[in-house]
Amino acid sequence: MLDESISRLRGDLTAFEAVPALGQVLPDALGRSHDPLGGSGDPSGRSGAVLGLTLPGRATAPFCPSETEGTIAVPADASFWQRVRRICGPGLLVAVGYMDPGNWATDIAAGSSYGFDLLFVVVAASLSAILLQSLALRLGIASGLDLAQACRERYRPVVNVPLWLMAEGAIVATDMAEVLGGALAIKLMIGLPLWAGILLTAFDMLLVVGLKGHGFRQVEAIIGALVATIALCLIIELLIVPPEISAVAAGLVPDLGRLGQQGALMIAIGIVGATVMPHNLYLHSSIVQTRDIATSFAARRSAIRAANVDSAGSLLIAMLLNGAILALAAGAFHANGHTSVAEIDDAYQLLSPATGAKAAAVFFGIALFASGQSSTFTGTIAGQVVLEGFFQLKIPCWQRRAITRLLAVAPALAGVIVIGDHGVSSMLVLSQIILSLQLPFAIWPLIWSASDGRVMKGLAASRLSVAAALVVFGVVSASDLWLLVDLVV
């Protein structure tokens, strides 16, 4: 029965690609012509146009994994650091997801409520992310499979369908955080109502359409610019509100007793969910394959080392930026008696009075807006990875983006209408808790795939790495169970 359901799903999505409803409605609404066969009569595969941008009727680069695989050459005779330079890029795409608005919400709540007490959680989560992403990139380079493809080969449909649904849920939860963060930044900077900002974020689909057919390096360059913008703004913020070094040092010392403070455990789990994102494991194992690497054992081993430099360096930057957000909240709010700043908009309004610098709020808003744009790219690619990997299905990337954004906009808009504008941070923290609850179901198949010598073609992860990953799996699972029991009881 499950096989029949998958066959029907494949048929439905194939039909959706062949006669895309969205591809007809959007061009008609804008007075554009469209090909009702999704581009079957056009060798370019076009299915219409939006604001002068052609809507492709098939999956295209740079967002479709199979269309970008092996498109960036890594010369076999290059030196190690030359290979690092050619391989660098995927780490940034993964890292930008670790500094999205969901991270802002949890870091601000942690800093304002507990000062630097939970800084060690940010560090521990980031180090766990470096380990898990290392396994993901190793899987992609060594085996030539992404995590979704490895699951399809390892498990039966009765397991793969739930894994796919949870991966899609993680992508939607992340996208909802981006929607809320982007809309909130628009509201704070130009005064647009939050509900209008949420609707406005839907137009990021135009970026996906506009980049069709371009190289993967261009996506990496855009992400690099977003990361640089966030970093510059937060550096300026810390120059305005310099943290106390002694308090930072004390916060870095692990102390599980601090999690016993009221509400601290939930925030800590939110930090883990915001830092180690399930869909990033699928994403990273796929996008490392955009590099054309020789198939020899030595070449693949060298590529794994170079990719680890890219990944660890990018994620360390993300860790520093998350720590900077928490430090900013601790220095500007907690130290001044504002210990209940749980909303990002409250933080924005209080930042200038608390620091005495009007520019502090401006740079805060710019950085928040930049952080809210990451899912336009990473969410689209990750969505294509899991759909193609689990079911060997491909749909046009703009359709993928439209589906994901619609599923994210609907609950975000409903939440704002029901709860009000001041419920944004609560929804952001909730989205990160959802990610944390789904995380074990991505870690487990990753560990077993990366440790399987047959799958990894002689480049299986070391016993130490596997043991450390199993510890992370156990800690995350136990924390999730602890939270569920705490919520029920």
pLDDT in tens, 77-121: 888 888 889 999 899 989 887 887 777 878 888 899 899 999 999
Q: Are residues 50 and 69 in the same domain?
A: no
Residue ending a domain, choose from 58, 84, 105: 58
Cα separation, 369 vs 366, whole angstroms: 5
Cα separation, 430 vs 113, whole angstroms: 17
Q: What's the gap between Cα 448 and its chain centre?
A: 23
Residue 276 pLDDT > 50, yes or no? yes
User: Tell me, what's the pLDDT at 294?
Assistant: 87
Residue 310 pLDDT > 80, yes or no? yes
Q: Are residues 23 and 100 in the same domain?
A: no
Residue ending a domain, choose from 32, 58, 84: 58
Cα separation, 89 vs 18, whole angstroms: 33
Q: Which of 196-210, 215-229, 280-294, 389-403 has the lowest mean pLDDT?
A: 196-210
- In angstroms, what CA-CA distances link 373 with 61, 152, 222, 425, 487? 19, 31, 10, 17, 32
Token couple for 440: 């074990």
Average pLDDT estimate for 246-272 = 87
Q: Are residues 34 and 74 in the same domain?
A: no
- Contact 320/301 with Cβ under 8 angstroms? no
pLDDT tens digit sequence for 442-485: 999 999 999 999 999 999 999 999 999 999 999 889 888 887 77
Cα separation, 68 vs 71, whole angstroms: 6
Q: What is the largest CA-CA distance in the chain?
A: 68
Number of domains making up the chain: 2
Token couple for 339: 């210990």
Q: Are residues 178 and 69 in the same domain?
A: yes
- For residue 78, the domain's CATH number is 1.20.1740.10
Token couple for 140: 């992609």
Q: Are residues 44 and 105 in the same domain?
A: no
Average pLDDT estimate for 154-165 = 93
* Average pLDDT of the chain, as a whole number: 81
CA nearest neighbour of 174 among 377, 392, 473, 416: 377
**DSSP 3-state of 439:** coil
Q: Are residues 225 and 296 in the same domain?
A: yes
Q: Are residues 19 and 90 in the same domain?
A: no
Q: Are residues 425 and 481 in the same domain?
A: yes
Identify the domain containing residue 223 by its residue range: 62-488
Q: Are residues 10 and 84 in the same domain?
A: no
Token couple for 422: 């001041």
pLDDT band at 13; cut points 50, 70, 90: very low
Tokens 């029965």 appear where?
1
pLDDT band at 51; cut points 50, 70, 90: very low
Higher pLDDT: 39 or 216? It is: 216
Which residues contact residue 331 at a Cβ distance below 8 angstroms, ignoring those fewer than 6 apart? Answer: 111, 241, 242, 243, 244
Residue 58 pLDDT > 80, yes or no? no
Which residues contact residue 384 at a Cβ distance below 8 angstroms, ignoring those fewer than 6 apart? Answer: 59, 63, 64, 65, 394, 397, 400
Residue 187 pLDDT > 90, yes or no? no
Average pLDDT estimate for 173-198 = 86
291 has which bridge partners?
Answer: 72
Q: Are residues 17 and 78 in the same domain?
A: no
Q: Are residues 344 and 376 in the same domain?
A: yes
User: Containing H/E element for 295?
Assistant: none
Cα separation, 195 vs 235, whole angstroms: 31
Residue ending a domain, choose from 10, 42, 58: 58
73 has which bridge partners?
Answer: 292
Q: Are residues 52 and 167 in the same domain?
A: no
Token couple for 132: 């898990």
Strands (DSSP E) along 255-320, which ranges? 291-292
User: Tell me, what's the pLDDT at 80?
Assistant: 86
